Structure 1
């Protein structure tokens, strides 16, 4: 079978090679047609069926071999055969040729193309799985990609050949008519003065605007299908209803009110969402208290003698609540009401694409944005109900310091809280199934964090799986865990579950609407953050793919603008430069690719590394640890990603976020003056390391010779010059 595939590929390669080698492409140009037009017309008039058959076969072969001649052939078809016959010939010949290319791709190119273009195929495969024929129809109707690319790529998907045939026939027909019609106008041009005929101008205008018209038609068809049978209100009470008052919901509402839309924001619990009440704000307040306690313990490093810190655990936890109260006005109902947002407290249910019910009241709205966030995932570990467990939502109710805290989870939340509570005098054991902490980061990043955790005394149990909870005769809580087939018992007082988060999608009425959910629980949205129901959008943690507050705010702009102004223009959400940080000590910050991501996606890269232990300010601050690692395009200074491990990494990464967003390379960063002594010099020195590694060695060798010559004294040079003259 493999030999047959290789043989088929070789035959195709020979045919395509011959096409270019023997310059057959010269026969597929408008210039050649203009030269031979009279002869072609005369032959067609004398032999109409034969001419049509020859044209049909040539078109099938050209399309089947994916040669760059189909556009010219289509125009020629209109010029020679006219609109009706030309459309008939082109329509069937193009689809038969496309299906041949589709089958060839399926039989011989699947493995190679998957390896070569795996990243590009992910979106197409997802689209095929989600919508199938409709997805292919959209690709055909709106020519975002060359048709020969669609033929080859679709051969790698599960689409059936007969589905590919009829959908292609239907989807390409409007474009075929437009191109054939343009060809008929070309056929009427008799001289240079006739080029600007109204018909020809109209044809090319139609060619230019066809993709936009087709996109509108396709969107209208999808909307009509999705909204079929829905009772559309005669008028609407609101332009937008936003469900959920976390980061995504607040920013969406803010933007809507700013552009004078009538918007209602519904929240069933606390305005501000997870970030304010149970996430970013309280965790960073706790981390700050823990860092101060750690500095007191380290005071002797700075020449300051103090006794060991006395931790008032209840006071620390009360401070966390006071910080929340201080930040709370930024996200308050009062503030958003003053901005023009109607704020309602209650549980929202989406009745249909235009109606939302809350507190017994039915609100009619043009569009809906779901921004309900996510909640901590509680794993179904046997015996969990026997122990006192917390999540990142409930841990903030603690006032009595636990002696022994078991943290299950080695991701960002688990790592931040493990170190913070340990520094506040709690004996922490951290457990995770992964063999290392923070598995989304590179191994050297994980190793740096793990080394600090172990040095501080945190008991790391990595590669352990939780089997069951139980209590012994004395009432102590135990976790039975396993590693490499061996069972281990861990004793603790309280347990913190930090094993991920799940999108909040229940009790919204989504099942009745038919809005799909991804495997990770997030809502299925397109590139415009629009669900399968065209009037319903989603943003933030409930939409994914990232669960960060700053990403939720980023998505909120797209959700607001696309829902309010989508009838005019829609914007695709841009995820090209997404940064994040884990606020452990050392901090870990990243933007773009790291090494393991680049390897997984087969993206070539170079690594430039600079150790922060060599930085003057880090040494002065006794924070001389960590590193910066920058990935660039091989041989170029274009940044693919950056990872910083060290003191204030979350602040330092901003320079690389800006650089990637605006296409600034390492050479430009090297040319920026950085204040001395600051931690931000880390970025400049990393750029310097890249420059040193890419120095032009041959140029430097010539410069060395030039400088050596310049070091000679004027007497030596005159003497050498005199000897030369005497010899002459």
Structure 2
């Protein structure tokens, strides 16, 4: 088998090399055709079988070898043979060539790539199993990707080649007809003025409109296929049913009710979801209490003498619960009912794309709806470590039940949640050890960001073990401990009274009937949705943590607007969700805030950039308050003031970030930020100062040189006048 693959690879390489060395591409042009058109037509009249057969075989070979020029040959076929014969020749040649290309890719690459990229190909195969021929038909009809790419990728899947051939034959036919017809019009050009002929202009207009028409046709086919699988209700009781009353679900319900749509919101636990009850609100309340303890300890720096703070942990948790209770009315059943939203408490399950069964305390209810928005959120992920089931693990969901301050807390995970909570408990008086498997805290940020936070957490008493992997939880007469190992395999046992797991969150996708309806999940467990947040079912959408990729409250709200508007008005226009200017803040001390690219991401994506950096040690307000640690770092394209991304580390970083977020959203560059008046002395001046650093690095040196000469001339002129 290996020798046959090698032989096939050599034959393909030889054929491709021969194509380019022979200069075959030079002959596949409209100019070459028109120069030889008379002789070609005579040859076609004498030997039609030879000419047509030769063109057919050449087209098959080019498509099979994925050589450039297949689209041009499609156009040329119309010019050479006319619409009828050109369409017949190219239709069969393109389908046969595409099938051979898929076969070549399957023979040469499928085995090795399946072993290396099993997860990616399995998702493609899942789509093929789910939708069969319609999956390929959509790709053929809507040219989102070049056809040769589709040939090669589909060759790596488990689709039968016979299915691949006939779907390609049918799916490529409309597009082939459009291009062949355009070639026929070009072939009839006799004078320059013919370029403006209505028929030629219509042909080119059809090429431009075809992808939109094809997209509409595919949507129609999908809707009808869906209707055949499930009984579509004759009428609907609701416009939208939203499943989940967290941040995303609440925003979706609010928007739908605001435009007078009839909407039902279903929640199985507590209104407000994770953000209100176990996430943003309680964690920020806890962080504020911890910072108060930090401020007391550091008050001596300002000449204020106080004793070591005494932490009443029960009162701290009372403050946390008080914050939840103060904000809860904003997310309550009463408020949303008043806004026109029907709120049901119960477990929701989709029995069809248009029917949602809700198990309420009063009994089951069946809701018929035009659209469903899944906003079911996520939950903390607990790793499968040996021995972990024998202890009670704390997560960001459960630690709010604590009644006493942990004596020794081990935190597993150095992401935003682990860093925020680990530092807070250390400031409140716990002995904290944080374990992170990567080489830095906040692994998605630049290394200098992780270094700055590492130093700060060390000052606050957190012991941080980077590059350590958790092995198991052990329990002996002295108590439980987490056994870890560094990169060299050296083991260490970390005793604890409490273990907080903060290694990520996983989407809540089970129990809603989505699997039975064919709604797939990605490799990371989130629901598979497109750029408009629509699932494989045309009327089922998702937003928030369950959709990913960012598990942030404001990201969920951003998605909720898109999902709701696209659901209600998608027949007119659908909006793609953009994360280009999505801000994120880690509320540690110092805060870490970012919008857009950092250097790590820019390098990974091959984005050219230059860095402008401003140290907060130069900011008057920071110096006056004695909190001058940190920096502002902005990425821009080389020579441009357009902002690609901004990272801020320091006190108030999250508040300063808002200006950069607005600038990126509205297309405002650093030059205009520099010309904006900022109040003195404030931390927001760091934004203007950073813009000033960029401006200074991009001074027009030649112009400044001329100005220096001009002022020198003026000074000399004044002296002559006095003399």
- Coarse TM-score class (shorter-chain normalised): 0.7 to 0.9
Distance 1:3 1:668 in 2: 58
The structure 1 residue matched to 2:127, chosen from 119, 128, 131, is 131
Paired with 2:689 and 2:118, the residues of 1 have a C-alpha distance of: 37
The answer as to 2:703 corresponding to 1:681 is no
Structure 2 Cα separation of the partners of residues 317 and 85 of structure 1: 80
2:238 matched to which residue of 1? 238
1:179 paired with 2:182, answer no
Q: What secondary structure does 1:346 align onto? A: strand
Q: 1:599 to 1:715 in 2, by over 3 A?
A: closer
Using the alignment, how far apart are the partners of 2:160 and 2:306 within structure 1? 76
Task: Output the CA distance in 1 between the equivalents of 2:442 and 2:671.
Answer: 31
| Aligned twin of 2:560 | 556
Gaps of 5+ in 2: 1-5, 111-116
Tell me, yes or no, if structure 1 residue 348 matches structure 2 residue 344.
no
Give the Cα separation in 1 of the matches to 2:173 and 2:701.
Answer: 59
CA shift at 1:374, angstroms?
A: 0.6
Task: Give per-residue Cα distances to partners, 1:77-127, cap 9 Å, x unaligned.
Answer: 4465443322102223444566788899999999xxxxxxxxxx9999797
- Secondary structure of 1:639's counterpart equals coil
Q: 1:656 aligns with which of 635, 660, 667?
A: 660
Question: In the alignment, is the contact (CA less than 8 A) between 1:515 and 1:524 conserved in 2?
Answer: yes
Query: In the alignment, what sits opposite 1:140?
Result: 140
Kindly report the root-mean-square deviation, in angstroms, between the aligned alpha carbons of the 2 structures.
Answer: 3.8
Quickly say closer, same or farther: Cα 1:24–1:531, change in 2 above 3 A.
closer
User: For residues 195-274 of structure 1, what are the structure 2 equivalents within 5 Å?
Assistant: 206-274=206-274
Assess, with a 3 A threshold, how the Cα gap between structure 1 residues 83 and 344 changes in structure 2: closer, same or farther. same
Instruction: Give per-residue Cα distances to partners, 1:284-316, cap 9 Å, x unaligned.
Output: 111112112211222222232333323222111
User: Which SS does the other structure have where 1:635 is aligned?
Assistant: coil
Q: Could you say which residue in structure 2 is the equivalent of 1:481?
A: 484
**Contact 1:8-1:108 within 8 A present in 2 as well:** no
Asked if the contact 1:227–1:353 (Cα under 8 Å) also holds between the matched residues in 2, the reply is no
Which shifted more, 127-136 or 230-239?
127-136
Partner of 2:577: 573
Residue in structure 2 matched with residue 370 of structure 1 by the alignment: 374
Does structure 2 conserve the Cα–Cα contact (< 8 Å) formed by 1:376 and 1:500? yes
* Contact preservation (8 Å) 2:12, 2:65: no
Aligned length: 701
CA distance in 2, matches of 1:15, 1:548: 57
Q: Deviation at 1:530? A: 2.0
User: In the alignment, is the contact (CA less than 8 A) between 2:30 and 2:76 conserved in 1?
Assistant: no
- For residues 149 and 661 of structure 1, do their structure 2 counterparts lie closer, same or farther at Cα, with a shift above 3 Å needed? farther
Go from structure 1 to structure 2 and tell me whether the alpha carbon gap of 1:306 and 1:168 turns closer, same or farther (over 3 Å shift).
same
Q: 1:98 to 1:477 in 2, by over 3 A?
A: closer
SS at match of 2:236: coil
Instruction: Tell me the TM-score normalised to structure 2 length.
Output: 0.86
Given that residues 12 and 65 in structure 1 are in contact (C-alpha distance below 8 angstroms), is that contact kept between their aligned partners in structure 2? Answer: no
Residues 5-44 of structure 1: matches in 2 within 5 Å?
Answer: 11-15=18-22, 19=25, 25=29, 27=31, 33=34, 44=44
Task: Classify the secondary structure of the residue corresponding to 2:394.
Answer: strand
Taking the aligned partners of 2:155 and 2:597, their CA distance within structure 1 comes to: 30
Structure-2 separation of matches of 1:701 and 1:188? 61
Quick one: structure 1 residues 481 and 146, their matched pair in 2 at CA, closer, same or farther if it must change by over 3 Å?
A: closer
SS of residue in 2 equivalent to 1:289: helix
Secondary structure, in 3 states, of the residue corresponding to 1:283? helix
Partner SS, residue 434 of structure 2: strand
Offset, 1:210: 2.5
> Which residue of structure 2 lines up, in the alignment, with residue 421 of structure 1?
425
Q: Is residue 468 of structure 1 aligned with residue 464 of structure 2?
A: no
- Is the counterpart of residue 602 in structure 1 residue 598 in structure 2? no
Structure 1 gap ranges (5+) = 111-120, 720-728
TM-score of the aligned structures, taking structure 1 as reference length: 0.85
* Correspondence for 2:620: 616
Q: Distance in 2 between matches of 1:543 and 1:697?
A: 50
